[in-house]
Amino acid sequence: MELGTRRAFAVVVLAGVAGTGSVVYFLNAVGLGTLGSVVWFVGYGTMVYTLWYGWIRPLDLTGGTDPDEVADATVDEEPTTESGG
Protein backbone atom coordinates (compact mmCIF):
# COMPACT_ATOMS: atom_id res chain seq x y z
CA MET A 1 0.00 0.00 0.00
CA GLU A 2 1.52 3.30 -1.05
CA LEU A 3 1.85 6.25 1.32
CA GLY A 4 -0.76 8.29 -0.58
CA THR A 5 -3.16 5.38 -0.42
CA ARG A 6 -2.51 4.97 3.30
CA ARG A 7 -3.27 8.63 3.86
CA ALA A 8 -6.48 8.40 1.86
CA PHE A 9 -7.49 5.31 3.84
CA ALA A 10 -6.78 7.14 7.12
CA VAL A 11 -8.77 10.18 6.00
CA VAL A 12 -11.76 8.04 5.02
CA VAL A 13 -11.73 6.20 8.35
CA LEU A 14 -11.19 9.38 10.38
CA ALA A 15 -13.95 11.27 8.58
CA GLY A 16 -16.25 8.27 8.72
CA VAL A 17 -15.80 7.60 12.42
CA ALA A 18 -14.91 10.93 14.03
CA GLY A 19 -16.83 13.14 11.61
CA THR A 20 -20.00 11.11 11.66
CA GLY A 21 -19.77 10.54 15.41
CA SER A 22 -19.35 14.26 16.11
CA VAL A 23 -22.30 15.26 13.93
CA VAL A 24 -24.50 12.59 15.51
CA TYR A 25 -23.48 13.71 19.01
CA PHE A 26 -24.37 17.34 18.33
CA LEU A 27 -27.66 16.45 16.65
CA ASN A 28 -28.64 14.30 19.63
CA ALA A 29 -27.59 17.10 22.02
CA VAL A 30 -30.01 19.57 20.38
CA GLY A 31 -32.85 17.07 20.36
CA LEU A 32 -32.71 15.87 16.77
CA GLY A 33 -32.21 12.19 17.53
CA THR A 34 -34.04 10.93 14.45
CA LEU A 35 -31.92 13.07 12.15
CA GLY A 36 -28.87 11.87 14.09
CA SER A 37 -29.84 8.28 13.35
CA VAL A 38 -30.15 9.06 9.65
CA VAL A 39 -26.77 10.81 9.65
CA TRP A 40 -25.23 7.85 11.51
CA PHE A 41 -26.60 5.37 8.96
CA VAL A 42 -25.56 7.43 5.94
CA GLY A 43 -22.15 8.40 7.37
CA TYR A 44 -21.02 4.98 8.47
CA GLY A 45 -22.61 3.31 5.46
CA THR A 46 -20.77 5.63 3.10
CA MET A 47 -17.50 4.98 4.93
CA VAL A 48 -17.91 1.20 4.74
CA TYR A 49 -18.88 1.35 1.06
CA THR A 50 -15.91 3.61 0.28
CA LEU A 51 -13.49 1.29 2.09
CA TRP A 52 -14.92 -1.71 0.28
CA TYR A 53 -14.89 -0.03 -3.13
CA GLY A 54 -11.45 1.54 -2.78
CA TRP A 55 -9.44 -1.06 -0.91
CA ILE A 56 -11.20 -4.41 -0.49
CA ARG A 57 -12.91 -4.90 -3.87
CA PRO A 58 -9.68 -4.66 -5.92
CA LEU A 59 -8.01 -7.47 -3.93
CA ASP A 60 -7.64 -10.77 -5.75
CA LEU A 61 -9.10 -13.19 -3.22
CA THR A 62 -9.42 -16.22 -5.48
CA GLY A 63 -8.05 -19.65 -4.71
CA GLY A 64 -5.74 -21.75 -6.81
CA THR A 65 -6.84 -22.58 -10.34
CA ASP A 66 -4.39 -25.37 -11.16
CA PRO A 67 -6.58 -28.28 -12.36
CA ASP A 68 -4.02 -30.81 -11.10
CA GLU A 69 -4.22 -29.41 -7.57
CA VAL A 70 -8.01 -29.58 -7.64
CA ALA A 71 -7.99 -33.14 -8.98
CA ASP A 72 -5.43 -34.26 -6.38
CA ALA A 73 -7.45 -32.74 -3.57
CA THR A 74 -10.66 -34.51 -4.57
CA VAL A 75 -9.26 -38.02 -5.14
CA ASP A 76 -10.58 -40.51 -2.61
CA GLU A 77 -7.72 -42.70 -1.59
CA GLU A 78 -7.94 -45.62 0.73
CA PRO A 79 -6.07 -45.01 3.93
CA THR A 80 -2.93 -47.02 4.37
CA THR A 81 -2.24 -48.75 7.62
CA GLU A 82 1.09 -49.96 8.81
CA SER A 83 1.15 -53.14 10.76
CA GLY A 84 3.46 -53.06 13.68
CA GLY A 85 5.20 -56.21 14.49
For the chain, domain boundaries: 3-59
- In Å, how far are 18, 27, 30 from 43, measured between CA atoms? 10, 13, 19
pLDDT of residue 62: 78
pLDDT of residue 77: 60
DSSP string across 8-64: HHHHHHHIIIIIHHHHHHHHHHTT-HHHHHHHHHHHHHHHHHHHIIIIITTS-----
Percent of the chain with pLDDT over 90: 53
Quick check: 39 pLDDT over 80?
yes
